[in-house]
Structure 1
Amino acid sequence: MNDMTPIAKVQTTLKDWETDQEVRWCPGCGDYAILKAVQRTLPEIGADPSNTVFVSGIGCSSRFPYYIESYGFHTIHGRAPAVATGIKLANPELDVWLVTGDGDGMSIGGNHTMHLLRRNLNCQIMLFNNEIYGLTKGQYSPTSREGTSSPSTPMGSVDHPASPCAFALGSGARFIARGFDVSKELPGVLKAAHAHKGAAFIEIFQNCIVYNKDRFEDFAAPKGAEQSQLWLKDGEPMLFGSEKSGGIKGIALDVAALTLKVVDVAVGADGTPDWQAAGVIVHNVRNKAVAHMLVEMPFGPFPMALGVIFDDPRPTYEDAVLGQDSRAREGKAADLGKLLAKGQTWTVGAPVSDPA
């Protein structure tokens, strides 16, 4: 089968993706919800357990391969992207998913994550962001907010946090999306990532019930969600809110400052929001400049940008590598003896006897 041949879809159920292993995270951990979202998504995309590989690094999220009935690798800290690259080059037909965290993927593994994204390996990268090191007992992580109190920062972190999506965009990623653990929209985000051919980066906000409880309640809680969440859809205006929750609002471009701004949207006599009069932007997943603005929007003045933020495919890394290999083989026959004899060689004969 070559890369142009579509992989046959198979019919499975959620149960087919559950293993016989006891799922063990802290009670109430957001990882449980993410696991179920993934297990619901896999049958819907027609994934084949015998053709699917989950690769993880180190951290709470990295227990994932034990709980998915497919092939899996629990690798070393931060190196899941390197292992996934080897898997994909060895067998490009495999459907590869990476599971990492804000510590595993953005700290010790930041370098490996960057290179996987810039190379554009065809895989899905799920980065669980709980803004803390959970497995090692609550130290602050690269994404922890300033002022975060933890065992390693008892007086509050003074570090400015990293933005995973901004990092991914800066690394050359061609697909960026966001979701959160208990969102009903998460399976749809995962489907969109899987449909993208190339490196698809999904930041998933995840509640750490023990060391960073309810960190994302300001936008993830059901109450007030209409005003705090901006779910982006390609070709649709960036609207959020409702008349019952403080009014309909939208995201517009401040042309003078070249930044985004929140605007109020009036409702016409027919009950339809007059978003065009308010200057609301229509989401275009191929607009990288606006994507940068969306992932950098400060929460509070702005809602949290969720869903598919950027999606602009380009040729994948494995296509380029395997294509180059194919061209190198053209018109050549495999000859190990000839290869070994190439260059400077010599033959060792029988020893010459000493005439003395």
Structure 2
Amino acid sequence: MSVEMSLPVLTDKDFASDQDVRWCPGCGDYSILAQMKKVMPTLGIPREKIVFISGIGCSSRFPYYMNTYGMHTIHGRAPAVATGLKTVQPDLMVWVITGDGDGLSIGGNHLMHCIRRNMDLNIVLFNNRIYGLTKGQYSPTSPLGKRTKSTPMGAIDNPLHPLSIAIGAEATFVARSIDTNIKHLGATLKRAAEHSGTSFIEVYQNCNVFNDGAWDYAKDRNTKADTTLELEHGKPLIFGKDRDKGIRLNGLEPEVVQLGKGITEDDLLFHDEKALEPSLAYLLSRMRYEDGFPEPIGVFRSVDAPRYDELVNDQIALATKEQGPGELDKLYGSGETWTVA
């Protein structure tokens, strides 16, 4: 006689740890945490099979607040730690929580190589365009001319654009959401979790203490219809309060057009998140509010590709089959070894 065991039904409260959440009142991190806790029960994965890994920064306190396994690692190295864990424990769902400073400054190299390997990881980058934990220095995403404690005369570094970097490294899933757009944020996190391969999500997140209002144009109810564009697979790029504006290509350059007066939806650029060639997704990632474009939110790219964690374990299995499990002492004493007299 067999007895079928069913998993207990979990709620968002089951994913809340017993730790006091210690972010500044009003921080956008609270919203991201809340949506993550709401998404987790919908995935049907036991808490002991989920791990959150972070580096250093305000966002990196995240593992303390999730009632799952977690690791608070060192500055910029969360993708490297996550790569090792997922490789040796492929049954785990692994999330990397990082910020624009942690992920794109000291951690930029680790982030890029993790993405290009297409590890089965979910990377969430909180982008507030400032160093919040260390009290307001400029970050790799701070705009040119930004005056901060470390750039009193204005930043002279060209800012990095997270999604452009991810797409340049050929990430198989790339998306953007906004901390206060909670329905969209939750749906985006869920889609990322369901993707096989590296999921990279940039979240526009407000630091109300050191960079308040950085994303107001994309969040204000009076302006966001004209300053953001929600991507839908297979649909034309339409935006505006009256849904009367669109994006079309003029040669290789995107341009904003007004629908009507001879311009129809068929003239517009249609979104294809499944395109294997990443050029369209890259073009969308370069659209900036300051250049007169709406900034896309949603899924830019979602394609399938070989995964590093699967391939490396396939190689280990093949080597073990052909050569046996091996012995560490023999390995240390083999190959090019010598004795120094």
Work out whether residues 39 and 190 of structure 2, in 8 Å CA contact, stay in contact via their aligned partners in 1: yes
Q: Secondary structure at the match of 2:300?
A: strand
User: 2 CA distance for matches of 1:120 and 1:40?
Assistant: 26
**Count of aligned pairs:** 326
Unpaired stretches in structure 1, ≥5 consecutive residues: 1-7, 345-356
Is 2:131 the partner of 1:133? Answer: yes
Query: For residues 69 and 337 of structure 1, do their structure 2 counterparts lie closer, same or farther at Cα, with a shift above 3 Å needed?
Result: closer
Q: CA deviation at 1:289?
A: 1.1
Identity of aligned residues (%): 45
2:112 is aligned to 114
Unpaired stretches in structure 2, ≥5 consecutive residues: 1-5, 336-341
Any idea what the Cα deviations from partners look like across 1:269-295, whole Å, max 9, x if unmatched?
xxxx9411xx11221003311111100
Work out whether residues 10 and 46 of structure 1, in 8 Å CA contact, stay in contact via their aligned partners in 2: no
Query: For residues 144 and 334 of structure 1, do their structure 2 counterparts lie closer, same or farther at Cα, with a shift above 3 Å needed?
Result: closer
Q: Secondary structure at the match of 1:323?
A: helix
Query: For residues 323 and 26 of structure 1, do their structure 2 counterparts lie closer, same or farther at Cα, with a shift above 3 Å needed?
Result: same
User: 1 CA distance for matches of 2:126 and 2:148?
Assistant: 19
Q: Secondary structure at the match of 1:306?
A: strand
Amino acid at match of 2:225: E
Q: Secondary structure at the match of 2:64?
A: helix
Q: CA deviation at 1:299?
A: 1.1
1:251 is aligned to 247
Q: CA deviation at 1:199?
A: 0.6
Q: CA deviation at 1:266?
A: 3.0
User: 2 CA distance for matches of 1:341 and 1:48?
Assistant: 39
Query: For residues 280 and 132 of structure 1, do their structure 2 counterparts lie closer, same or farther at Cα, with a shift above 3 Å needed?
Result: same
Q: CA deviation at 1:341?
A: 10
Query: For residues 332 and 32 of structure 1, do their structure 2 counterparts lie closer, same or farther at Cα, with a shift above 3 Å needed?
Result: same
Any idea what the Cα deviations from partners look like across 1:154-191, whole Å, max 9, x if unmatched?
11111110001111111221111001111120011111
1:281 is aligned to 269
Is 2:232 the partner of 1:233? Answer: yes
TM-score (norm 2): 0.91
Work out whether residues 53 and 82 of structure 2, in 8 Å CA contact, stay in contact via their aligned partners in 1: yes
Q: CA deviation at 1:119?
A: 0.8
Q: CA deviation at 1:343?
A: 5.5
Work out whether residues 320 and 326 of structure 2, in 8 Å CA contact, stay in contact via their aligned partners in 1: no
User: 1 CA distance for matches of 2:35 and 2:259?
Assistant: 34
Query: For residues 10 and 166 of structure 1, do their structure 2 counterparts lie closer, same or farther at Cα, with a shift above 3 Å needed?
Result: farther
Deviates more, 1:299-308 or 1:64-73: 299-308
Q: Secondary structure at the match of 2:240?
A: strand
User: 2 CA distance for matches of 1:322 and 1:81?
Assistant: 18
- Please say which structure displays the higher CA radius of gyration: 1
Query: For residues 30 and 111 of structure 1, do their structure 2 counterparts lie closer, same or farther at Cα, with a shift above 3 Å needed?
Result: same
Query: For residues 26 and 36 of structure 1, do their structure 2 counterparts lie closer, same or farther at Cα, with a shift above 3 Å needed?
Result: same
Any idea what the Cα deviations from partners look like across 1:240-280, whole Å, max 9, x if unmatched?
1133xxx611111112xx11111112399xxxx9411xx11
User: 2 CA distance for matches of 1:159 and 1:335?
Assistant: 51
User: 1 CA distance for matches of 2:328 and 2:258?
Assistant: 75
Say which of 274, 285, 288 aligns to 1:295.
285
User: 1 CA distance for matches of 2:139 and 2:104?
Assistant: 9
Q: Secondary structure at the match of 2:244?
A: strand
Correspondence 1:216-231 to 2 at 5 A: 216-231=215-230
Deviates more, 1:106-115 or 1:169-178: 169-178
Correspondence 1:141-220 to 2 at 5 A: 141-183=139-181, 184-220=183-219
Q: CA deviation at 1:68?
A: 0.3
Work out whether residues 9 and 45 of structure 1, in 8 Å CA contact, stay in contact via their aligned partners in 2: no
Q: CA deviation at 1:303?
A: 0.5
Say which of 247, 258, 282 aligns to 1:264.
258
